Amino acid sequence: MARLTAKPGYEEQVRAQSISLVEPSRAEAGNVSYSTFNSATDPREWVVVEEWESREAFERHLASPHMQEAFTAGAEWLAGPPVDTVIEG
């Protein structure tokens, strides 16, 4: 899971980018699920919930071109780095 907080005034950019990452992420080898959710109480807050077949598949996802573009944009649009929580079951 990743929690994202948009800088004030960048809510729409973060929303559009979060939604744009869903389909290419779901199409990646090893993806089980990938969804993004906007907070019902704070339009600046987003949570991405994703499941991968393996840690290696997740690492490939992080290195993918669409994620690298997102990380670059996030440096400008986010209030801080994403807060990641990795859970294994």
Q: Decide if 9 is inside a domain.
A: yes
% of the chain exceeding 70 in pLDDT: 100
Q: Decide if 55 is inside a domain.
A: yes
Q: Decide if 34 is inside a domain.
A: yes
**Domain limits for position 49:** 2-75
Residues 6+ away with beta carbon under 8 Å from 50: 1, 2, 25, 31, 33, 34, 35, 58, 61
CB 24 within 8 A of CB 80: no
Q: Decide if 89 is inside a domain.
A: no
Rounded CA-CA distance 25/35 in Å is: 9
> For the segment 49-77, what is each residue's pLDDT rounded down to a tens digit?
999 999 999 999 999 999 999 999 989 99
Q: Decide if 84 is inside a domain.
A: no
Q: Decide if 53 is inside a domain.
A: yes
CATH number of the domain that 64 lies in? 3.30.70.100
Query: With 80 as the cut, is the pLDDT of residue 89 above it?
Result: no
Q: Decide if 54 is inside a domain.
A: yes
CB 78 within 8 A of CB 7: yes
Q: Decide if 13 is inside a domain.
A: yes
Mean of the pLDDT values across residues 2-19?
95
18: tokens are 């979060």
Domains held by the chain: number: 1
Rounded CA-CA distance 7/66 in Å is: 21
What was the pLDDT predicted at 88? 79
